Structure 1
């Protein structure tokens, strides 16, 4: 047992377990931001490789396996690929909404002038690529895919920035993260408005009732995670049946997640003092005073973190290392054909991402600064240009929207355009930022 300098046993730490020799290095490894992007890239490459291998038919057919349940006349049956896109991706959208709310309440976006810079850049990064795409696809079969080129892939962009480490200022990471979050919310609205189906008002009414119940539960102080999960599942099914894309339920619930703490630090310390005041005796395993105090301390320690923060800590690894890679594995499989390289949809997607994204971000950033937005001094225009190029990496949400916008005959062209634009933007953006920061570090 570890001892302090006075020779006393050190009970101020948790007990040591042999397995920690493995888990601690792994935990430190998983904290690296680039890991999520590396995992996503691995499954993307694997999906493309399998889709162009002798096992392509079997690989692509697995994702079309029907799954679900039927209760009376209500049938919830769809392919495995659709369950991943409509079900598991709801967790991704939920996490994005929680992050957005935390940024609005506690982060950089709570400062209006600072938020205006990221929001304006995100708007430009959505509007200009969509306009370029429509310009190239007007009157053609791929015209409905304008929403594909609007979103930036957060994981890949942050992963690319992580490769540059301390060469870039923290303000660029914050700017790009805020931009990507706003970008994702814009893409979610596009999904809800541009790619919805005929509405069922009765199902929407059930969804609204479910949201009202969740709000009421929060107001009266119900803190059971299980009850909120059950309510969330009910809302998901109601939204799914309404004709609005089911992932919107994740956005709504994420924005409703509280960012305030229930237990203050002062109250926590007071409760911990109570634990110390009643040391363990020899009463056995009954409901003794010291055990009551320990349970109280457990609850207090948990509730010193806001629900939004607890959820983000618990959910982020699952979304980063399971949901998004699984989505990429199911959706990134595209049969590469030389004939698709010059396809009009591939070209329009590439131009929208590779040219429209940086142009829109820089133009709207300049406009925002002219109108009074605030830019950190170290966030130079060269860095903004590099970040704008990286924003052309539009992978997860682009694939998500392309599945809604295109039929099978056009989908491969869209996927090919997404892949080429993402590779181009990552390579050029990293090379540009590397050169800019190298020149800056050499300057006297």
Structure 2
């Protein structure tokens, strides 16, 4: 950095001279709780209600869910039971959301970079295979070995909710690891449902479904009116899958994989802001409609649909599914039969032991051979806790019970196994997290630089072999980071080739809403060799960091503006910034600037003389 700012009065006071992460309000905590935990809580409540209902004297549970519904006109009619309506229709929406997440991860998410994806992908594949093998070994003589699909999948909703409840502090990388694993896990489960548990296949309706899917793909090219067309074609595809014998929930996945996904184009965002400004100056319905449409279109339909459906799936569809499928009849006789059943024990062993051995074992092997990018915070201890959580197979496990097993008594034994395995997995994960994370004291967290300096990846200034190193985690919208850049320039001038300085991103988006966009813009400029110049420009004018300002800076610096705009939308840029953010989270960095002097966290003032003394080991 070459921006000179001589005012270092704030640097003398380490508390006053930093921007701190804003603590969330009670309302924000409640909203966060609702997003990740209440859905899982509703699943638990629905499960308990289903079990109690199924075990009431003269229970109406099974009779209720076998109620028949008829939809249609004259000869064109569809007949469902309530149970089938939930499992075939409502669950198609759930699998649609799963497909959207799969599509997003492959397009702009964690699965775009192989070094990052190899760990959860390998762990997921092992986590599919090992449980299936264990189940088959338990059921070689039971006649139910073909039901191995029950133990292959992890319940993503329960996984995320449980991680939020019992997981470690700062679980960012573990959460990404488990979510990516769950996506691959879902792909495996959906493929097995399609190829193993589909009967009475009729190809002609599937041809109609294929035409409908082609139409869904082409809808993206329409300028307007896409919503009703998507809905109409989706219904046609779903009905075609139902008529073909392929499980209709897979229609939801097939549709989702054709929905476009992309990161927002900064020029589209800028246009939306201009329209909103016009509406503010001259409020009328036309400007309001244009501004609303422009804002909506700047976000891909994939992400809009995920946001729109998420509450209904978490708070309605999955609890209804649990209510319709978790009604296990419990009596001494049934529990005794389950305790002796190879189906029950195969499910418990497959989900609890199989998932743990598969996920943790594959990760440990990759760690041993140094394959893939684990990153700070993704320790084998934390992976062990996550691997235990993967034994919660609930939703898809119960779903496959109905597909794979015809005998009601065997179904009951299987459901007992699924519920028991989910409880055991949760308890085991809690114990593992308490043991592995309890070993570290608060003083140890973040005391040492978690990720070594890598000149090929980091933004470095100075000789790679310099004897003194200074790493800064900062935020381009933070005024104290701007002032610190003056101290850094003075320090570099005084120490010369003896100092290697490294900049890493730690945008405090709660306090600085434009900081993340500024970091990504600097990275996009870096792809054209202009990271230092763009950074200086951001620090010199922190009041102008909107999308239009980023494009203007790129133009002023002589960058290829078209390439700059395209790079801003690339997953490479987002993942590069996210790496630094996750490192900062793993080291409990809650204020910026935060410095690491020769690999150890600096806690004093950050004026140039103080940093120089710290670098030389002087007091």
TM-score of Structure 1 vs Structure 2, range by shorter chain: 0.7 to 0.9
Of residues 111, 117, 121, the one that matches 2:119 is: 117
CA contact (8 A) 1:90 1:249 kept: yes
Range moving further from structure 2, 72-81 or 34-43: 72-81
CA distance, structure 2, for counterparts of residue 258 and residue 163 of structure 1: 33
Q: Distance in 1 between matches of 2:302 and 2:72?
A: 34
Q: Secondary structure at the match of 1:77?
A: strand
Q: CA deviation at 1:115?
A: 1.1
Aligned residue-pair number: 411
CA distance in 2 between partners of 1:70 and 1:272 (Å): 45
Offset at 1:164? 3.3
CA distance in 1: counterparts of 2:259 and 2:340, whole angstroms? 46
Show the counterpart of 2:133. Answer: 131
Aligned partner of 2:400 in structure 1 is: 401
Unmatched tracts of structure 2, length 5 or more = 1-26, 445-619
Give the match for residue 299 of structure 2. 305
Displacement of 1:163 in angstroms is 1.1
Measure how far apart 1:351 and its partner are: 0.6
Question: Is 2:167–2:433's contact at 8 Å kept on the other side of the alignment?
Answer: no
The match for 1:50 among 50, 53, 67 is 53
Identify the residue that residue 388 of structure 2 maps to in structure 1.
389
Moved more, 236-245 or 361-370: 361-370
Deviations 1:414-439 (A, max 9, x none): 00110111100001111210222112
Equivalent residue for 2:219? 217
Cα displacement (A) at 1:410? 0.9
Q: In terms of mean alpha carbon deviation, does 429-438 or 399-408 score higher?
A: 429-438
The match for 1:286 is: none
Q: CA deviation at 1:105?
A: 2.0
TM-superposed CA distance for 1:384, in Å, is 0.8
SS in 1 for 2:144: helix
Task: Tell me by how many angstroms 1:293 deviates.
Answer: 2.0
Residues 83-117 of structure 1 deviation map (CA, whole Å, 9 limit, x = unaligned): 10000000110101111222222222222111111
Instruction: Report if the CA contact (8 A) 2:219-2:226 is conserved.
Output: no
Pairing partner for 2:278 from 248, 251, 274: 274
Q: What are the equivalent positions in structure 2 for 1:249-264 lying under 5 Å apart?
A: 249-260=251-262, 261=264, 264=268
What is the distance in 2 between the residues matched to 1:316 and 1:146?
29
SS at match of 1:256: coil
Give the aligned partner of residue 341 of structure 1.
Answer: 339
**Residue equivalent to 1:433:** 433
Equivalences for residues 15-34 of structure 1 within 5 A: 28=31, 31-34=34-37
Moved over 6 A (4+): 24-27
In 2 relative to 1, CA 66–372 (structure 1 residues): closer, same or farther, beyond 3 Å? same
Instruction: Calculate the TM-score normalised by the size of structure 2.
Output: 0.64
Q: Per the alignment, in what secondary structure is the counterpart of residue 438 of structure 2?
A: helix
Task: Report the counterpart of residue 373 of structure 2 in structure 1.
Answer: 374
Give SS of 2:440's match. Answer: helix
Q: Within 5 Å, which residues of 2 pair with 1:242-253?
A: 242-253=244-255
CA distance in 2, matches of 1:371, 1:221: 49
Q: Which is higher, the Rg of structure 1 or of structure 2?
A: 2
The CA RMSD measured in Å over matched residues stands at 2.1
User: Is residue 361 of structure 2 the alignment partner of residue 363 of structure 1?
Assistant: yes
Q: Distance in 2 between matches of 1:310 and 1:103?
A: 15
Asked whether the equivalents of residues 220 and 226 of structure 2 are also in contact (C-alpha less than 8 Å), the reply is no
SS at match of 2:69: strand
Shift in CA distance, 47/348, structure 1 to aligned 2, threshold 3 Å: same
Could you tell me which residue of structure 1 aligns to residue 163 of structure 2? 161
Distance 2:443 2:143 in 1: 52
Q: Name which structure has the greater RCO, CA cutoff 8 Å, separation 6+.
A: 1
- Structure 1 Cα separation of the partners of residues 79 and 175 of structure 2: 41
Once the two structures are TM-superposed, the CA of residue 363 in structure 1 deviates from its matched residue by: 2.4
Shift of 1:211: 0.5
Give the TM-score, by structure 1 length. 0.88
Q: Distance in 2 between matches of 1:246 and 1:174?
A: 29
Q: Is the 8 A contact 2:167 2:430 kept in 1?
A: no
Q: Which has the higher helix share?
A: 1
- Aligned partners of 1:380 and 1:368: how far apart in 2? 12
Which stretch shifts more, 319-328 or 334-343?
A: 334-343
Quote the residue 2:192 is aligned against. 190
Which residue of 2 is the match for residue 180 of structure 1? 182
CA contact (8 A) 2:47 2:326 kept: yes
Change (3 A) 1:125 1:362: same
- Separation in structure 2 between the aligned mates of residue 207 and residue 32 of structure 1, nearest angstrom: 34
SS of aligned partner of 1:167: coil
Residues 163-195 of structure 1 show CA distances to partners (whole Å, capped at 9, x for unaligned) of 136625211111111111221121111110100
Shift of 1:218: 1.4
